[in-house]
Amino acid sequence: MGKSKQKQVLGRGLSALLNDPNNTIESVRDRNAEQVIGSVIDLPIENISKNPFQPRTHFNEESIKELSTSIKELGVIQPVTVRKMKGNQYQLVSGERRLRATRLVGLKRIPAYVRLANDQESLEMALVENIQRQDLDPIEIGLSYQRLIDEIKLTQDQLSERVGKKRSTIANYMRLLKLDPIIQTGIRDQFITMGHGRALVNVEDTKLQLALYKKVVKKGLSVRAIEALVRSFRNTKTDSTGNYSSPFIKQAAEELKIIFDTSVSVTSSNQGKGILKIKFDSQEKLQHILNKIKGV
């Protein structure tokens, strides 16, 4: 009886503590901190604010609806993680999909694991937990790694230990951030894969990078095919006149040769300017070429 009564009193005490807007638990040394910090407690959703350090920028609405259906039937199985703020306010550290889905269902409370952290610790917790637990796209992962290095001042070796990934894996994600923003968006929207991006990042010329990207999307080129094109381009040597023949110019000449059924040559400078030569050996052949150009 005594123990049962004591549990009820503690329960009421914790409830009163959580609902007290003036409670001042800000460190593990504060009174009643052991009842809140490190515990999983039911918190009113209205008392949980958005995480300003959230690395995820894309949320699949259909996925959140599916999660909300699961929560409606089974409840929230994995608690969200929150940071204790002043009074009865909390800040989300990780679990935004769960929080959004719970709101969608119309529930007023959610189980939460409570932690204390300063801004830097909160940022690190949010980034590390999201990298490990959430299905971030490759660009979001790269951005999260970059923020951990820039804002938390971690080295790649330290970062490797924190997130449990090889240093080479981290470097590959971060290199994607060197891609043109259009190509980064293509990776995020799954027009191309991370493998395509890793090949394209080896091309320093932005215009050529974009031209390759459009070729991948248009023709559905495999990662191996784009890697071969990139290698071919990087091995292309500029001749003494300043002209060069990239794989794309060579391919354009081959395609035109097929279309016009005649010899075609293309030369180009490294500024992108060039000359196209189409050979014809009779007036009839020239008319044939003109008809092809006109689409006749």
Instruction: Compute CA distances 42 → 6, 48, 75, 206, whole Å.
Output: 20, 11, 12, 51
pLDDT surpassing 90 at residue 198 = yes
Whole-number Å distance between alpha carbons of 258 and 240: 30
Q: Judge whether 109 and 44 are in contact, CB under 8 Å.
A: yes
Residue 196: per-residue pLDDT = 94
Lowest mean pLDDT among 49-53, 102-106, 251-255: 251-255
Of the candidates 115, 104, 100, 109, the residue with the CA atom closest to the CA atom of residue 44: 109
> Does pLDDT of 197 surpass 90?
yes
- How far apart, in whole angstroms, are the C-alpha atoms of residue 129 and residue 116? 15
96 is known as an active-site residue: yes
Which residue is catalytic, options 46, 96, 140, 255? 96
Q: Would you place residue 50 in the very low, low, confident or very high pLDDT band (cuts 50, 70, 90)?
A: confident
Q: Pick the range with the lowest mean pLDDT from 125-129, 135-139, 164-168, 174-178.
A: 125-129
Which tens digit of pLDDT belongs to each residue from 201-251? Answer: 988 888 888 888 988 998 898 999 888 888 776 655 444 444 555 666 766
Domain boundaries, the chain: 2-117, 179-234, 243-294
Task: List pLDDT tens digits, range 12-28.
Answer: 355 555 555 655 555 54
- What CATH number has the domain spanning 2-117? 3.90.1530.30
How confident is the model at residue 11, as a pLDDT? Answer: 41
